[in-house]
Amino acid sequence: MTTPLLYILHSGQLFGTERMAVRTLCGLSGSFDGILVAPPGPVHAYAARCGLRSECFGSAAALARYLWRALRTSPDLAVAATGLSQSLMVIAMQALQGARVRHLHIVNGGTGETPGYGRKRLLNPFPVGFVAVSEFVRDRLVAHGVDSTRIAVVENFIEPAGVAWRPVFREPGIRRVIMLSRLDRVKRTSLLLQAVRRHPELGAVRFDLYGSGKEQNALAAAATDLPNVRFHGFQPDAASHLRQADLLVHTCPEEPFGLVVLEAFAAGVPVLVPNAGGAGSLVRPGDTGFHFAANDPTALGRALCELRHASPDLLNGVAERARRELSERFEPARQAGRYAQAFGAVA
């Protein structure tokens, strides 16, 4: 009988963390009977489209009831959780029922040091393994006191098969830039607006921003004098617009990973990211993408201006090498195998 695997999310949205949970369950389908457990939101429909079962909980009490039943039914259970409170609840239920649980806490970072990394050390006394989605995340966990011997680094991955490839570049330069991101302060979206405003040459480039967040209204108001910058809000299929762009820009210098960078790799779209954080580590500048100096709108503007005149050979070569990187370094079966090994380490 296949061991049940509950992947418990703290959000029901459809950002990188949620999409990655679904992909991980699909990748582990040969080893586990996966069930996505999450609050209400679009991730449930996404899981269903991928052929996965999902359970919806609207409160902590509802999740506790579900876990109690799951542990009674399957005393040998595997659990992956992204929220600290969910992991602590699993630990409590496990103790009450005397169940055997292979428990991984998945660390995708977050919007702040304390909630994203610092509080994770509360799990140190318990038999829980940690999965960090990048070396950047691992370093932050260790800096905050998490037991380094229990951290496995398993980078995110996507399945590139079936992803529509952007037509090859035949003319020099970029003309349309896309950004897919939450519009929160930590994402530093304002850097892009500052860069466009400081470099009049970029008025000839169209910028399409997809995403929602606390800063959405303020950013849109700040861009009223920039008619070439358009805010489209949250769209579940935003990634499908990638192949219509010439470049993906990512501005967050503290990004734990940057799944959208891999999605751009898969679509054949060059990327421009900060030279810091998890996103920066995904790109070899000039080879699989481009860097700009983190937190510097002038540097971002200069990089965009240079790419306005980049040769088709440069842009096509970067896109091709990035796609090859995706199929080697981020190969789904290989990464799913690392998850299986991490579960085995906490058996």
CATH number at residue 126: 3.40.50.2000
Range of the domain at 77: 3-157+331-345
Same domain, 338 and 323: no
Same domain, 248 and 337: no
Coil, helix or strand at residue 229: strand
pLDDT at 1: 63
Same domain, 135 and 69: yes
Asked if residue 171 belongs to a domain, the reply is: no
Asked if residue 195 belongs to a domain, the reply is: yes
Q: What's the average pLDDT block by block, 10 residues per block, for the chain (347 residues)?
A: 92 90 94 97 96 97 96 91 97 93 92 85 97 95 96 92 87 97 93 97 97 94 96 86 95 92 96 96 96 98 98 98 93 93 90
How does 11-20 read in b/e, with b if 16+ C-beta sit within 10 Å?
Answer: ebbbbbbbbb
pLDDT at 240: 85
Asked if residue 289 belongs to a domain, the reply is: yes
Same domain, 100 and 214: no
pLDDT at 336: 93
Asked if residue 162 belongs to a domain, the reply is: no
Residues in the chain: 347
pLDDT at 20: 93
Cα 108 vs. chain centroid, distance in angstroms? Answer: 7
Give residue 210's region: left, alpha or beta (phi > 0; psi -120 to 50).
beta
Give residue 236's region: left, alpha or beta (phi > 0; psi -120 to 50).
alpha
Same domain, 118 and 213: no
Same domain, 325 and 340: no
Asked if residue 145 belongs to a domain, the reply is: yes
C-alpha 98/C-alpha 77 separation (Å) is 12
Same domain, 121 and 153: yes
**What strands, in cross-sheet order, belong to the sheet with 290-292?**
229-231, 206-210, 176-180, 247-249, 271-274, 290-292
Tell me the two tokens of residue 245.
């762009």
